[in-house]
Structure 1
Amino acid sequence: MQDTPLTVFAPGAWNRSSAYDNFRNLLSHRDIRSLAVDHLSNGADPPNQGLSEDSHRFHQVILDLADQGNRLVLVGHSYGGMVISTAAAGLGLEERSKAGKPGGVIVLVYMAAFVAERGKNLRDLIGGRLWSWMLTDGNYVRLDPNVDLIQDVPDASKAKHMFPHICLPAFLEPATQEPWHTIPSVYIVCEDDEALPSSIQYSMIKSLVNPRVFRLRSGHSPFLSMPMETADILEEVCK
């Protein structure tokens, strides 16, 4: 069993895993091991990948890490919350320990993220239709370039680590798992979020079982806009 937990990031829609490079470097200086995993649905062409493919890929990554004896902290940002919920099923540390297996997930961290109860999809959680700044063309979903959803992030960082589109099935496939019943959970509320309003974040927290809740006066991507404060939270979570 590894001495320190390993934090694994599931990015949001349109986000590349490289968006976490600077933040992960900051974490490493706090002796927090981490990695970030790209989603298949981000940038896929043809746009035929969705939540099931993303979750399967993420599940395989964290299963391998658990089998190596790692205690895992899963951090889902935005759409990534849907991914960690499906991928973590059956991989909780306590459940694996009882089965005589090493490693496992010790906590689920939802960072301004979607928490979907079984049978609901992301579109359901935002009122049953995609928002106006989500521009659809067949199964391509692109961001409206005239809308700034991460208002507190420096301009130089805004488009640097973005895919041009995400596949529509990522928003339409329903959640199949509710791992927070057996794995502890954390929610990081971003109070100034213009992409996923805090009112919706608070409504989704109600689905979790006795979660720890942290609040940041941040926009949608606190690992970019408030990295020190976000690192403080993860450092607390990883203790």
Structure 2
Amino acid sequence: MESKKIALVTGANKGIGKAIVKELAHRGIIVFLGSRNAERGLMTLAELQHEGEVYFVQIDVTDQQSIEQAYGAIEKQYGHLDILINNAGVAASRKKPGEADAEEFRTIYETNVFGVVSVTNQMLPLLKKSSSARIVNVSSLRGSLGDQGAFVGQPSISYSSSKTALNALTVHYARELASTQIKVNAAAPGHVATDFNDFHGTRTPEEGAAIAVKLATLDEDGPTGGFFDDTRAIPW
């Protein structure tokens, strides 16, 4: 009998991350619900306890010690990791490029870019022990240059460019890991109603989570190094 897959989802105490955890658990995957705030994470865990096998793990993607402790908890309990979903992210003001300051960029990139590098690199030894590991970076249509993401609506230069950088990370990790069983892709959830946008989005968290779950459960013939929404590969 094939053993259950093990997943870690960062930023999973609410919104899209919570919906991802719920759907993965429904599929029989053992999920570590990662949250920077322990109280909120445990509250969400209590809500999802009947959805499947879900565990809480405290992880702040900007804190290396926290990341190492999360790694230790997963390694001790299961010894490997099959799915990593880098969902944790922060938004920013919608300042025009000429009004944005470097400090705002540092704050946004610390979570949306550097945090992904820190978590991914820490978890790679566990992912390499899986027979079919998947890494999913939760990005945004705002991160697309080829799809004119920067020219639509009212983008934030710090947030949007952080997602462009995240897409670039996706390609580089996919290239490095191309000779392994690990597939790395980026997901665009769409305009989801969460506290990110004061719940002004047009999609539910469940709808936004669908593409991340799909990429997390790709079969061996699935793509790597791509950027996808529900219906298509998105131009970088």
TM score, norm. by length of structure 1: 0.44
Bigger share in strand: 1
Q: TM-score normalised to the size of structure 2? A: 0.44
**Larger helix share, 1 or 2:** 2
**Higher relative contact order at CA 8 Å, sep ≥6: structure 1 or structure 2?**
1
